[in-house]
Amino acid sequence: MRLNVRALAAQVIFQVLENGASLSNVLPHHQAQLGNGKDRALLAELCYGVMRVLPQLDNCISQRLQKPFKGKQRQIHHLLLVGCYQLYFTRIPAHAAISETAEASRQFGQEGLVKVVNGVLRNIQRDDAPLATNNDTLKYCFPGWIVKKLKAAYPNKWADIIEQSQQRPPMWLRNNQRQQSQAQYIEQLATLEIGASAGLTADAILLEAPTDVTALPRFAEGSVSVQDQAAQWAATLLDAQDGDLILDACAAPGGKSCHIMESADVRLVALDNDAKRLERVTENCQRLGLEATILCADAANIDASWHGDKFDRILLDAPCSATGVIRRHPDIKWLRKAADIDTLQQLQAQILDHCWQWLKPGGTLLYATCSILPDENSQQIEAFLARTSDATLETITASKENDATGWQILPGQDNMDGFYYAKLVKAIA
């Protein structure tokens, strides 16, 4: 049986919340089951929307159920989340939202629960009460442990950071400077009535509204890529020069590798320990007409698989909590656990120490994360500098906050994702 959009949404949400899968991995498989673009967009809206305001929806439903759904019936809980989201956050007429959601429970083979789904959703519609916000979790729709860390790190900015992280992100493009200038591409967009403006970096272009990539001039031929401006700072700060041997130590899916290769004629090793994700690097290189050496290896043990020279420059875009990109990936709030931060911090330190061995004297290592937690950023780099006598920190001129170690970009700052950069230079022996 073909499942309707609400049933597919409940399946996606189930996989994220119950099986720990990431939304961006699961969603495309389910979208592929839908015939038209409108339905695919609605499926994405329902899944992303539920992830953004999950605690409020959970609370609203739980209050109307005598006992929670368990076992095979658990999916009905996720279906009710989808139903409740439609009633509060979309313009879908209530009767359509309720009947489609009830139909989805029939499609799940839960005939006996169709009436319950109908009843709960009609009750919510009839009550027409605002969603509860009487504790921090309900008010901010953020897990308590992240709120606590943000309050400690940003006593004056934490509420704004959370608000920004709850927004829908803008769409940024990266102009491929090998094909045209940033200004020329903005002109090409204008002829198609796609509003856009130049960002702060040489290649960044901000679209007025998100657009399907197939509508962008010469996207398939590699004229532009989709990449947030915060991530585009990596290539600018690494400042690769023609002839450099470069290591991108955690490269997949290759956004930053490709940008570096677009910016200069370098020899680049794109290393990652995830073979599946590395396939995306190959695809991206093919679309953009670029060539890299692709290496599936552990960045904390490069010796085992790289037998070439040491590197002039290294980009270490480390695995991290991704707390800076919650506006793009709201499922991160529910997938990440407090205990992950210690594990990540240790892994980052291990990779950093090992990569440092592979940097030539006089070379530059750019450490990057899409995290906003000092544990993974300024504290990580302060500890590295304390134990590494031949490392110095270069000031990043783009940074306006000179007192901090490295450059912490906060979500929403100049329309960017949250990101962190530290530029480390190795002493000439």
Cβ closest to ligand SAM, residue 54 vs residue 251: 251
Please enumerate in sequence order all residues whose Cβ is within 8 A of that of 319, keeping only pairs 6 or more positions apart, or say none.
250, 344, 347, 348
Minimum distance from CB of 337 to ligand SAM (Å)? 17
Question: How many residues of this chain interact with ligand SAM, rule: CB under 6 A?
Answer: 18
| CA nearest to 423, candidates 398, 392, 377, 378 | 392
250 touching ligand SAM, by CB under 6 A: yes
Shortest Å, Cβ 109 to ligand SAM: 37
Strand partners, 159: none
> Which of these ranges, 50-58, 94-102, 251-259, 416-424, lies near ligand SAM under the rule CB under 6 A?
251-259
Q: Which residue is nearest to ligand SAM (CB)?
A: 250
Name which of 216 and 250 has its Cβ closer to ligand SAM. Answer: 250
Closest by CA to 9, choosing from 92, 99, 100, 94, is: 100
What's the CA gap between 216 and 223, in Å, rounded?
A: 9
Q: How far is the CB of 368 from ligand SAM (least distance, A)?
A: 8
In angstroms, what is the minimal distance from the CB of 204 to ligand SAM? Answer: 14
Annotate 140-183 with DSSP letters as a single string.
H-S-HHHHHHHHHH-TTTHHHHHHHHTSPPP-EEEE-TTT--HH
| H helix intervals, 275-367 | 275-288, 332-335, 340-357
Least separation, in Å, of the C-beta of 16 and ligand SAM?
A: 19
For residues 93-132, which are near ligand SAM according to CB under 6 A? none
* DSSP characters over 187-218: HHHHHTT--EEE-SSSSEEEESS---GGGSTT
C-beta closer to ligand SAM: residue 140 or 384: 384
Site for ligand SAM in 262-291 (CB under 6 A): 272-274, 277
Question: In this structure, what token pair is assigned to residue 308?
Answer: 């070439």
Q: Choose the binding region for ligand SAM from 50-58, 91-99, 119-127, 248-256 (rule: CB under 6 A).
A: 248-256
Catalytic residue among 47, 84, 355, 370: 370
What 3-state class would DSSP assign to 40?
A: helix
Asked if residue 310 binds ligand SAM (CB under 6 A), the reply is no
Nearest distance from C-beta of residue 91 to ligand SAM, angstroms = 35
133 within 8 A of 139, measured Cβ to Cβ: yes
Q: Which of 23, 252, 326, 424 binds ligand SAM (CB under 6 A)?
A: 252
Give the β-pairing of 311-317 and 359-369.
parallel
Residue 355 among the catalytic residues = no
Does 317 interact with ligand SAM (rule: CB under 6 A)? yes
Residues lying near ligand SAM in the complex (CB under 6 A) = 231, 250-256, 272-274, 277, 298-300, 317, 319, 351
Active site residues: 370
